Structure 1
Amino acid sequence: MTLNVAIPAPPKQKRRHLPPLQSGDYLSRHEFERRYESMPDVKAELIEGVVYMASPVHLPHSEFHSIAETWLGIYILSTPGLRIADNVSLRLGKDSEVQPDICAWIDKPARTPAKSEEEYLESTPEFIVEIAASSASFDLRDKMQLYRRHSVREYLVLTVYEQETHWFMLDANRLYRPLLPDAKGIFHSAIFPGLRFEAGSFWQRNWAELRKILQAGMATPEYAAFAAQLQRD
């Protein structure tokens, strides 16, 4: 007689859940990315091994972000050889990964490949814009020092609640110094000729005037020479 013996199934392995990211955690970039990818509904950044969790995005931040991105986007997308990205994951060194609100860079074939296999940006962009509301002190301290160490050539911080414009330029000693507006209150980028920004129009949401000033900058011989040089490189 044949006996049918039931063999019990092996016990199910409990699925291991990754610990959530918390502000102040000390993590390697690899571990940060592993946890971050399991939390698609949050924004977090890693600066020199320390995790920073972003606050909820309120309307003023979002609105001024949109205006700034449109302003810079017109310049970048009108200039072959330049690229722009919004909230891209940017790896800086072995222990930092941030998501700048907006960044732009010169896209040269001889340049280090700009993105990893995971589609993260790895080359340091020339220009970064941060729209700072509750994060103002963070953007003007921790992030600013990180960007300086990794040679981001120009850094623009727009503080929403104070409605202040902080534009910094990397000097020959790899230190940030303020880039000041001209007598008419217009900022002129040192690395992107013709890129002009009038802070009063921006904070008043006067898009027509902001665009007019930008277009005037892009009609200058300096801009034409820069655009032509990009095509030759």
Structure 2
Amino acid sequence: MVISNSPSPLTILENGDRLNREEFERRYTASKIKKAELIESIVHVASPLLYTPDGKPHSNIITWLGTYQAVIAGLEVGIEPTVRLDDDNEPQPDAVLFRVNGNAKIDADGYISGAPELIAEIAASTVSYDLHSKKRTYERNGVKEYIVWRTLDRQVDWFILENGKYNKLEPDELGTIRSQEFAGLWLNVTAILSNDMSAVLKTLQDGLYN
């Protein structure tokens, strides 16, 4: 199937459509769809989100990142922002953390352009495209750290970019993963999987002030 490169009167956006970024944005803007992503030229339209496997973990990740951003100057946190990565990819990550003067910029029309330093996604399991096509896209575009919380599997995968490839960070003996890109950004994996946000924020405070 040939990727569409010419203007079209269509305003329909469906799973599996193959589009370039310009046509994807045009149709997305004209539609009533709340969340859609373009990954490797393929459209992914999000299903309605459930609270326990999606909404609550999303809130917890944002609380963790937002607490860190509130202490460290020069950082921005975003919730489901549209990110213009390249001509074939325009994801809408669950959360982003990026430096004000870093790789990612805010375009004149308000979208993020370029790769945020850190992206976090909430996924059901390893079958999700978050760990396949989207992971390849983030790796290729230079997202330095990528977190996938697999809620059904009760696992957190944290990848760091080294020599152009993602390598997985493992928790230490206390169950904590420490960011390599952001000093003091520590995640108590055991606590966040148990929905113990008090312990998650305590570990973060340890990272920030030790």
What is the TM-score when the length of structure 2 is the normalising length?
Answer: 0.91
TM-superposition CA deviations, 1:181-212 (whole Å, max 9, x none): 11111100001111111111101111111111
The 2-side partners of 1:152 and 1:131 are apart by 17
From 20, 24, 31, the counterpart of 2:16? 24
* Corresponding residue number in structure 2 for 1:181: 171
- Superposed displacement of residue 130, structure 1: 0.2
- Percent of pairs with identical residues: 37
Q: Which has the higher strand share?
A: 2
State the distance in 1 between where 2:33 and 2:45 align: 12
Deviations 1:87-140 (A, max 9, x none): 1000011121010000011112xx567122221100210000001127852000
Structure 1 33/144 Cα, relative in aligned 2: closer, same or farther at 3 Å? same
Give the aligned residue type for 1:63. Answer: K
Q: Any idea what SS the aligned residue of 1:95 has?
A: coil
Count of residue pairs the alignment pairs up? 202
Distance 1:134 1:43, change over 3 A: farther
- In structure 1, what is the equivalent of residue 138 of structure 2? 147
DSSP 3-state at the match of 2:137: helix
Paired position in structure 2 for 1:82: 75
**Residue type of the alignment partner of 1:205:** N
What letter matches 1:197 in structure 2?
L
Aligned-residue CA RMSD (Å): 1.7
Partner of 1:33: 25
Where does residue 211 of structure 1 map in the other structure? 201
Change (3 A) 1:59 1:122: same
Instruction: Tell me if structure 1 keeps the 8 A contact 2:79–2:93.
Output: yes
Any stretches of 5+ residues in structure 2 without a counterpart?
1-7
Which whole-Å CA distance do the structure 2 matches of 1:31 and 1:175 have between them?
A: 30
| Structure 1 residue corresponding to 2:129, chosen from 126, 131, 138 | 138
* TM superposition shift of 1:42: 2.9
* Residue 105 (structure 2) pairs with residue 114 (structure 1): yes
3-state SS of paired residue (1:42):
coil
